[in-house]
Amino acid sequence: MRLSEKTLEINYCSQLQAICPNRIIWFGLTQIQEARAGFDVATRLGGRILLFQFKASDYILRNGSRRFYLKHDQLINLQNHVNSRRRSIFYVFPLLGTTQELSRNSNIIDQSYLLDVATLPNLAIPTKRNGQPRQNKIHYADINPPSIVIHSDPIELKLESSKDVAESGFHGADGAISLDIEFEEFWRKWKLNETFSYHSKGAVLLR
């Protein structure tokens, strides 16, 4: 059975906690927020905001590469968040996509690769073989670690091992700048809550 992006996302986030020494609080978006912002989850680690967009695929090409699908508008949204700040906004590509693969190896961090959105050039809307724009505006992204090839006009980029990046504490991350008011409000309230005593009570309501 095919694994959903959500299944991979929640298990990746859970397993990341075991690698990073600091406590991690995840900010999950509603469907409306995700469509607007272009990412799935975010966290604040060492004072830096990190954004993650997860992808799932069970499609293996004849050459052994695993094919993922990147929405053009989502990709542009992520690039708009970057503002040249490196190693802070990532596509996450787990190289397992079925329950059978998961049963053989449930360590998702070890099997995942990261693409730093800051390394992406400006990409035109993908086209069909006849040169006409692809109506669904989906880029094909073929992964054979440590490389990813993104079509239509092929570009090849280097991926990073998710395990290595996590164990380094996301070393070298500038930290993303969020343009989402609700997102910033969440972190403002969380920081305020941390200043209270251990016995203080409180809640954050997300709409």
Report yes or no on 200 lying in a domain: no
Calpha distance 122→151 (Å, rounded): 12
Which pairs with CB-CB distance under 8 Å and at least 24 residues apart come from 189-194? 190/25
pLDDT per position as a tens digit, 44-71: 887 788 999 999 999 999 999 999 999 9
Domain that includes residue 132, residue range: 5-194
pLDDT per position as a tens digit, 148-182: 999 988 999 999 999 999 988 888 888 887 555 45
Report yes or no on 65 lying in a domain: yes
Using alpha carbons, select from 84, 93, 80 the residue that is nearest to residue 38.
80
Report yes or no on 45 lying in a domain: yes
Report yes or no on 90 lying in a domain: yes
Q: Write down the pTM of the prediction.
A: 0.86
Residues 6+ apart with CB under 8 A from 57: 66, 67, 68, 69, 93, 97
Q: Cα–Cα distances in Å, from 184 out to 175, 176, 180, 202?
A: 13, 12, 6, 18
Domain count, the chain: 1
Report yes or no on 201 lying in a domain: no
Report yes or no on 207 lying in a domain: no
Report yes or no on 59 lying in a domain: yes
3 state SS of 38: coil
Report yes or no on 203 lying in a domain: no
Q: Model confidence at 189, in pLDDT bands (50, 70, 90)? A: low
Calpha distance 207→204 (Å, rounded): 10
Calpha distance 188→193 (Å, rounded): 9
Q: pLDDT over 90 for what percent of the chain?
A: 55
